[in-house]
Structure 1
């Protein structure tokens, strides 16, 4: 990580290495839950509408990986926080303009995660069960 990436940047970067690892782990957990869900759904021949529920772990996975990739926590962004230290050492964003930029970035990441979840769910829905 460069020195520039280790500093809070409104609407760009609000988490450091420890928080990034945590978000990446949540991405892997969501992906694993989604895979297990789909394996069960197809092995047990669940009706297509039930397979749409894969959107939940797909959303959590996508959001975790996107937050790690962007070095930006959605939860922190919506609450006006940032953390570049140890886990649990959040600091407050004091400037209103910075908070608005963070909230906008949080919405963008959530929107992308939602779009990914919709695509995954639709693919699961339309795959025929043999």
Structure 2
């Protein structure tokens, strides 16, 4: 079931083109994280170095969460939304709407951070050989 492609403060601030872009960034972060972990374990990196996997995992989680929520964290921080072609952002002028958008952006960021932290701790705790 397709969600309505219209700006809804704190709910939805991007349309199909922007959603695809966020999903692609999620996949890119996921690939980087996977390659990082394969190298880390294959080369026997010390556990503290494996914590760095949190960076690409955060990017992956942020991308996938933004795509799933149909909501761009960056747009919210700049008071924008976009349901058209890439690069055709429109401004959000109402202060109340901007606050709702910023709260949603904070939620997505916290969720992405939590996911990254869990993956990093698991990577840290896995013993090597």
* TM-score tier after normalising by the smaller chain length: over 0.9
For residues 6 and 80 of structure 1, the distance between their equivalents in structure 2, rounded to whole angstroms, comes to: 18
- Paired position in structure 1 for 2:33: 34
- Paired position in structure 2 for 1:23: 22
For residues 102 and 78 of structure 2, the distance between their equivalents in structure 1, rounded to whole angstroms, comes to: 8
Shift of 1:75: 0.2
**Equivalent position SS for 2:86:** coil
- Paired position in structure 2 for 1:44: 43
Alignment length (residue pairs): 129
Gaps of 5+ in 2: none
- Paired position in structure 2 for 1:121: 120
Shift of 1:62: 0.2
**Equivalent position SS for 1:24:** helix
For residues 57 and 39 of structure 1, the distance between their equivalents in structure 2, rounded to whole angstroms, comes to: 13
Q: Deviations over 1:47-90 (max 9, x none)?
A: 00000000000000000000000000000011100000000000
With the length of structure 1 as denominator, give the TM-score of the two structures: 0.97
Gaps of 5+ in 1: none
With the length of structure 2 as denominator, give the TM-score of the two structures: 0.98
Q: Deviations over 1:88-107 (max 9, x none)?
A: 00000010000000000000
Shift of 1:5: 1.8
Is 1:105–2:104 an aligned residue pair? yes
- Paired position in structure 1 for 2:67: 68
Q: CA RMSD in A?
A: 0.9
